[in-house]
A and B are shown apart, each in its own frame.
Chain A
Amino acid sequence: MKIAICDDDKIYLDKITNLVSKAAREKNIAIELNQYQNPKLFLKSDLCAYDIVFLDGNMGEISGIDVAKSLRESKADALIIYVSAYLEFAVLGYKVQAFRYILKDSLDSDFEPVFNDALQQLRMQTRRIQVRMNSDDIDFLVKDILYIESDRRLAVFHVCGEEQGLVSYRKLSDLQNELAQSGFVKIQRSYLVNMNHIKRINGRAVILDNGTELICSKELQKQVLSEYMLWKGK
């Protein structure tokens, strides 16, 4: 796991570094930690490599938001955690899908739960699933699955970037149990949908972010909406 810390204030840079190192040691996690006191140097580094980035909100001539925007262009799913003296980053950070923010004066108390959440999120983002296709085992990221369609004893995986569904001998009920923690919801007898890819639910129509429209069964409509709302509001 690669973590970057970018703060123009040396005291906080070291403090965050210590907290991350300590937490990683306690959890027995192997990490590669890079410190940046100059945001320009951070932006010149290999941004694609970072899984978690701790960013100061104000770093002189470059704001934390501008840094985050550049980071997003290189790596869309990096977890950005703002460490700022200003609460306003709760709103500003939202623009760049910041994962969390920590106020500098609450760093000691707030670091641990935020870091734990980040690790959990990272685990979800990097979770992979292995399926057998035409006697070959292939694996792909769970987060890339849009939805899974059941066709008798076959499961068709509709994955981001793949025009054709990936067909495998898997039971939808088994997959439902396996993927429940990753935000999958059964919308009818033969569809299991990744809630991370739901753009909106309009009545019984479940619209995915790639434009696909699936129809939810009448019996499950209420339950699907509840599960989707709880997932979104987490």
Chain B
Amino acid sequence: MEYIISAMMLSVETFSFWLMAEALLTKKNQRLQNAIAFMVSLIFGFSIVNFITHVNVSIVKTMVTIFTWYMVVLFAFTDSWIKKLFVVLSSIVMIYCIDYISACIVMAAFSITSVEIYASVPYFILGAFISKTALFTLSALLFAMKNEKHKMNKVSNAECFRLILIPVFTVLNLVIVVDCAIRYSVSPVLVMVDACGLLLCNIFLVYISNRLEQERFIKKDNEMLLQQARENEEKATAMLDIYTGQRKLVHDFKNHILSMQMLIKMGEYEKAEAYMTGLCEEIQIAGMAISTDNPIADVLLNQKFAAAKAKKVTMHISSGKLDSFPLENGELVTVLGNLLDNALEAAEKLAGKGQIYVNIHTQESETMLSVKNSVKYDVHIINNQIFSTKANPLLHGYGLQNVIGVLQKHGWTYVMQCENGWFQFTAMAPQ
């Protein structure tokens, strides 16, 4: 029985260690290599259990575990050797601390001594169960935090609660079971089977929970990719419109010149002059364009300005020359395009009274991009996320998340605020 309990404990320890290593270190992206490393640590661990059960020297067990785990992380992770060693040693220390605390809890709960814990199988199982459940929960929490950090989020309180709730109640349940088992002299084997079953249930539930979380993020990522694809399509359409417009202009002017030539040949000078005056007015309308020396910014600003005009939204643009603006073309489309789209969408709800202020410049001392727009209702901003009443909240805010993603990639600082009927998003490039 001692062998089975030790093997169970070791399996949980190995699995928890693996989660902690994944949370704190960078895994090599080779599935087979990782699987081999994990299996080696597990099989080697079982051999140690067998060995230790016979020699019963805990210092040897500790040293061999450190060595095995260190070899495994050397093989499966990419970080520096010192960081790997630190993670292994920290994990061992954490395991011992949790073991000690769990033993103290059992001693306090049943008013017994440490000797009695080891003498009584149910108490020992309870101590081991509390210890390993706590270890596994902590590792799972650490792993979830790393995943969320990677996705630039924080672990929500609900998620923490969900991860902790089941282990806490299974521990409570086992305390009651052990108490009853001792009172009514239930077989320790049954207690052990119950404890093992509960432990497996915990692991399985955390696994299922993580999978669901991962699927949620995959869905979110897909939505973001779709959004980016839509932006690129819009960009391509805008470019095509400009190209078609230019072709049309060239084609039209060829005809205009031919017509004027004909009028001059016919001696109709007054008609030719009138024709030319009309053309000049046409050129003025065509020339109503912003020119920042950055073609992408020009396309976006002109396109959105025209869209704002069509929606009866007043757009004030204050822009310097943007030829050296420190974002790639695609990134500028994502950032400026999304901010202007959001601003337009909000401002048009004000029925002809909507306003947008665009301030974009790059100077010696700073590069800044700011969009401020009037809003019908103030929105709540929590952790740089907007909470809206839109019908499909899943789709809302992806534009802004894409903007933030690009800005964070380049180390920009950004801030957003919504108060007194105005929303403002301002970003500054690192100096």
Which A residues lie at the B interface, using CB under 8 A? 85-88, 90-91, 93-95, 100-101, 103, 106, 109-110, 113-114, 199-200, 202, 225-226, 229-230, 232-234
Contacts and interface: CB of A to CB of B under 8 A. Distances in A.
B355 interface: yes
Given A109-B312, A225-B413, A233 B368 contact: yes
Nearest to B370: A233
Contacts of A225: 413, 415
A81 to B, nearest CB: 11
B361 A230 contact: no
Contacts of A106: 309, 314
B417 A91 contact: no
B366 interface: yes
A229 B428 contact: yes
B357 interface: yes
Interface of B: 284, 287-292, 301-302, 305, 309, 312, 314, 316-321, 352, 355, 357, 359, 361, 365-366, 368, 370, 372, 413-415, 417, 424-428, 431
Contact of B318 (A87, A90, A109, A199): A90
A234 B318 CA distance: 11
B290 A200 contact: no
B413 A229 contact: yes
A103 B288 contact: yes
Given A85-B284, A225-B413, A91 B292 contact: yes
A82 B329 CA distance: 30
Contacts of A90: 290, 301, 317-319
B412 to A, nearest CB: 10
Which A-B residue pairs are the 10 nearest by beta carbons?
A: A233-B370, A233-B426, A90-B317, A226-B415, A229-B426, A200-B365, A87-B290, A94-B320, A229-B415, A87-B288
A15 B255 CA distance: 37
Given A229-B428, A230-B417, A230-B424, A94 B319 contact: yes
18 contacts: A87-B290, A87-B302, A88-B289, A90-B290, A91-B290, A91-B321, A94-B318, A101-B316, A103-B288, A106-B314, A226-B415, A229-B368, A229-B370, A229-B415, A229-B427, A229-B428, A230-B424, A230-B426
A87 B318 CA distance: 11
B409 to A, nearest CB: 19
A110 B318 contact: no
A233 B431 contact: no
Contacts of A94: 318-320, 361
Given A94-B361, A230-B426, A202 B417 contact: no
Contact of B289 (A87, A93, A230): A87
